């Protein structure tokens, strides 16, 4: 029997698609810890996080035959699990505490974050400049380090840090504007 490090991604995916339970177990053990860490960034309830991550993995296994190896397998898995996370908060109509604001940054109106739902936050993230949005997404949502982001998008670590800082500043401004608009408009 092959060990998990002896399978290529293509062999692992093919085995999973063919319902090979051993390949499915290897796949799950390989990607689940990182996906659970991502989900735990949005909910501190470990049981809820496990439920969301497992729901995401069910989707992954159901759609694995559609993966075309045109990008990162882990990134593709992460997107499907993230959609499960999004669906969970949409169904529960719970606000998502999304932004990782560093202590050295100026405070954001705390009411703004508590009143925002997942879709609201995603629409604000979409308003960021493309490069800053990409770095913010990779760092804050997908959990990549600055070194990994630099390699992934072919920029320096310093540039990655700058884009993250820029994204956070712009998001704070957008959050404050959003909250003030909602507060006074309705």
pLDDT, tens digit, 9 for 90 and up, residues 40-64: 888 878 899 999 999 999 999 999 9
Same domain, 12 and 76: yes
Question: Final residue of a domain: which of 92, 118, 145?
Answer: 92
DSSP state at residue 137:
I
Q: Which of 177, 71, 77 is nearest to 123 (CA)?
A: 177
Residue 102 located in a structural domain? no
**Whole-number Cα distances in Å, 165 to 8, 20, 41, 104:** 37, 45, 19, 11
* Cα–Cα distance for residue pair 140/132, rounded to 1 Å: 12
Judged by DSSP in three states, 70 sits in coil
Residue 51 located in a structural domain? yes
Residue 38 located in a structural domain? yes
Q: Which residue has the tokens 């408009």?
A: 185
Give the chain's mean pLDDT.
Answer: 79
| Residues 90 and 121: beta-carbon distance below 8 Å | no
pTM of the full structure: 0.56
* Cα–Cα distance for residue pair 59/36, rounded to 1 Å: 15
Q: Which of 35-39, 40-44, 83-87 has the lowest mean pLDDT?
A: 40-44
Residue 101 located in a structural domain? no
Mean pLDDT, residues 11-34 taken together: 93
Question: Final residue of a domain: which of 66, 92, 118?
Answer: 92
Domain of residue 160: give its range: 110-185
Question: Final residue of a domain: which of 30, 65, 92?
Answer: 92
Give the CATH number for residue 13: 1.10.1740.10
Same domain, 61 and 32: yes
* Cα–Cα distance for residue pair 64/73, rounded to 1 Å: 10
Residue 147 located in a structural domain? yes
User: What pLDDT, on a 0 to 100 scale, did the predictor assign at position 65?
Assistant: 92
* Cα–Cα distance for residue pair 46/27, rounded to 1 Å: 21
* Cα–Cα distance for residue pair 111/158, rounded to 1 Å: 32
Total structural domains within the chain: 2
Same domain, 75 and 116: no
Q: Which of 68-77, 105-114, 164-173 has the lowest mean pLDDT?
A: 105-114
Same domain, 61 and 9: yes
| Residues 95 and 114: beta-carbon distance below 8 Å | yes
Residue 137 located in a structural domain? yes
**Whole-number Cα distances in Å, 108 to 15, 35, 134, 178:** 48, 28, 22, 12
Same domain, 146 and 85: no
Same domain, 83 and 41: yes
Residue 37 located in a structural domain? yes
Give the CATH number for residue 140: 1.10.10.10
């Amino acid at each position: 029997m092959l060990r998990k490090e002896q399978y290529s991604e293509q062999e692992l995916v093919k085995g999973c698609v063919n319902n090979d339970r051993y390949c499915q177990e290897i796949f799950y053990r390989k990607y689940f810890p990182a996906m659970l860490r991502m989900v735990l960034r949005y909910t501190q309830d470990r049981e809820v996080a496990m439920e969301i991550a497992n729901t995401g993995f069910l989707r992954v296994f159901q759609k694995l035959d559609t993966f075309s190896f045109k990008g990162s397998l882990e990134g593709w898995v992460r997107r499907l699990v993230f959609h499960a996370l999004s669906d969970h908060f949409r169904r529960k109509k719970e606000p998502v505490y999304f932004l990782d604001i560093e202590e050295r940054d100026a405070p954001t109106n705390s009411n703004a974050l508590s009143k925002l739902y997942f879709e609201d936050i995603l629409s604000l993230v979409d308003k960021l400049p493309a490069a800053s949005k990409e770095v913010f997404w990779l760092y804050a949502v997908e959990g990549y380090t600055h070194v990994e982001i630099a390699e992934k998008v072919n920029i320096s670590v310093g540039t990655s840090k700058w884009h993250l800082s820029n994204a956070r500043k712009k998001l704070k401004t957008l959050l404050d504007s959003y909250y003030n608009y909602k507060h006074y408009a309705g």
